Amino acid sequence: MFDIMDFSQGMTGDNGMELPTGGGPYIPDAGECMRCGMCVSSCPTFRLFQTEAETPRQRIRTISKVLVEDVAISEEEHEHLDNCLQCRACETACPSRMNYGTLFDQAREKLSQSVSRSWLAKLALFLIEHKRRRRLLLPLLSLYLRSGLRKPLRASGLLKKLKLASAENLLSEPALGGLAGIYPVGRRARRRGRVALFTGCLAEHFDRATQRAAIKLLNAIGYEVVVPENQGCCGAIHQHHGCSAQTLKDKNIAAFYELEVEAIIYVASGCGAMLSEYQGDDTETAGWFGRSLQDINQFLLAHWPDDLQLAASNLNVAVHEPCSQRNVLKNGQSVHALLRKIPGLNIEALPDNQLCCGAGGSYMLTHPDNAQQLRHAKRQAIEGSGADVVVSSNFSCAFYLNAERAETARKLVHPIRLLADRL
């Protein structure tokens, strides 16, 4: 099953290893892993547990049982598979270019047919899917956070009994209400076109400052911004849980397709990674969506007017590179290039950027112990960097790293917020 692949006609990859060639992208199936182990040290769960069972190599073996051999897997194998953060660092390290993310999603979908979900997971998926119902809950959340109920409720132990303690710890004040539908270009900029903004589900309420910064910058470089009300979650959380994200995909494609825009801009790299997979659906509208999709950092960089100057700053900035940006979108360098628009800024990559911060979509809620250990390691890297500001292009990473932090610890912000502040 795990035969060594024929590299006789291979080409050389970044790491000097030969890569298989052929027409179009090569996506090996789960049975084609060479078991070379080059992915092992890049895997955050191997870093935590130091056992073979927690390596990508072993997970691919398990996935092969599910997808290729069609045999039942043990509870332990299921648990080790479930511990995966889906950070896809193993893909970046793999000389065979194993498409681990796709294999994992396929296995998860197949296994999910025999797994019953907790009421909490079902509720979370329901709220992610239904925007109006989610919005109805936000004023209640805001009231709870301001009411002084938090302390006694935590002390009562009820949250722990209901398995809500980890989620409750992460809560922060949401933005109530939605963004406007259209943000026209102001009088001071020359109008160059019209783009649409993808706002996501949780980021829409918990990262409003970044979305406003995106609108401000896009307007400043001459683009009118449309925010379609009928857009929804990108579907990443559903896919990670082995549920179909097709309804969410179809809804988003339809919501944006009817607009006359030059680009669909996403701000959070986690959403961007999922949205970039829409074009895999072989339809004209999905193809259009894929071609129109643009990362905010890349779009601003590509369309920055020569005469737009930003105020200088002598801050030291460390750039956190989210897994979705590093291992899926592979566009992290655009953040460094964009930040160089601010004269005087000292920009460095955050040390140990290849290690996942633990957020992992909903992983911070489903595996709080593992996630917290990884977050602790990331926080040590942040504090050790000596940076004045740390930037991250993914809402989920910043949200998790900013939650429950010490008062003196640095807060992560999206890089575009630094630019918007210096307009």
Q: Can you give the binding site for ligand SF4, defined by CB under 6 A?
A: 33-39, 42-45, 56-57, 59-60, 84-90, 93-94, 96, 98, 100
β pairing state of 263-266 and 193-198: parallel
Least separation in angstroms between residue 43's CB and ligand SF4 is 3
Cβ closer to ligand SF4: 92 or 298? 92
Cβ closer to ligand SF4: 36 or 381? 36
Residue 45: both structure tokens together: 């769960």
Cβ closer to ligand SF4: 34 or 171? 34
Angle between helix 119-129 and helix 131-147 axes, rounded to 10 deg: 110
User: Which residue from 274, 267, 284, 282 is spatially nearest to 249, judged by alpha carbons?
Assistant: 274
Q: Is 386 left (phi over 0), alpha (psi -120 to 50) or beta?
A: left
Cβ closer to ligand SF4: 87 or 389? 87
Work out the end-to-end distance of the chain between its first and last CA atoms, rounded to an integer number of angstroms: 58
Whether residue 328 contacts residue 356, with contact meaning beta carbons closer than 8 Å, is answered with no
Least separation in angstroms between residue 115's CB and ligand SF4 is 18
The span from the CA of 160 to the CA of 168, in Å, is 10
β pairing state of 346-349 and 316-320: parallel
Least separation in angstroms between residue 4's CB and ligand SF4 is 10
Least separation in angstroms between residue 14's CB and ligand SF4 is 13
Cβ closer to ligand SF4: 59 or 194? 59
Least separation in angstroms between residue 20's CB and ligand SF4 is 11
The span from the CA of 126 to the CA of 194, in Å, is 33
Cβ closer to ligand SF4: 45 or 210? 45
Least separation in angstroms between residue 60's CB and ligand SF4 is 5
CA–CA distance from 149 to each of 137, 160, 167 (Å)? 17, 16, 16
